[in-house]
Amino acid sequence: EDQVTQSPEALRLQEGESSSLNCSYTVSGLRGLFWYRQDPGKGPEFLFTLYSAGEEKEKERLKATLTKKESFLHITAPKPEDSATYLCAVRGPGNMLTFGGGTRLMVKP
Amino acid sequence: DTEVTQTPKHLVMGMTNKKSLKCEQHMGHRAMYWYKQKAKKPPELMFVYSYEKLSINESVPSRFSPECPNSSLLNLHLHALQPEDSALYLCASSQDLRPETQYFGPGTRLLVL
């Protein structure tokens, strides 16, 4: 059974304080790891797809990396508008997504 | 138009009521999904429609009944729900069954009294 664990559950940062979110996964035959951002009361918004170990993707202040066991979402010099829940998900052989519990990020000005 | 719309935004219903949630997309996507999300929990897949046919049903109780009248519309009919069914119900669509092409709607927040 595919498993995805995200840590920490919640993270409070000061504006400009860089940090990383972790996503550990167990899946038989990874067919993609996905990062989403979700604002309260809204649906998840797709951020990145990673397929193989060593791959990296960047978008503005966010950078996602992937190893054989985990993925990191690095946030550089975050701003209050980066506050959201960040979800990680994996796609296994069944082609459907298994989500992690998410990390709730709060960036204070 | 890269939008998935859902109505209503909020719904309060009693355990004996019958109601429906609606989802619409005009992106030409051929796969549509229902997810359930409890507070501070990740989305859980309920149903997948591919080319208007139900392809995945994740052992969802029969009090939830999906319907796909055409390629742009997806409904979720609700009957005899329980208070523990209160959650955010998310609809999504994708061009194919690849998650990276999946767009989520804003959700319907359901409260069952």
| Cβ of residue B93 closer than 8 Å to a chain A Cβ | no
Task: Supply the mean pLDDT for chain B.
Answer: 91
Q: A100–B48: do the CB atoms touch at under 8 Å?
A: no
**Cα dihedral B6, B39, A86, A5 sign:** negative
Give the three-state DSSP class for A80: helix
Per DSSP, A40 falls in state: T
Question: How close is the nearest chain B Cα to the Cα of A106, in Å?
Answer: 14
pLDDT digits (tens, 9 = 90+) for B66-88: 999 998 999 999 999 999 999 99
Comparing A30-34, A83-87, B22-26, B66-70, the range with the smallest average pLDDT is A30-34
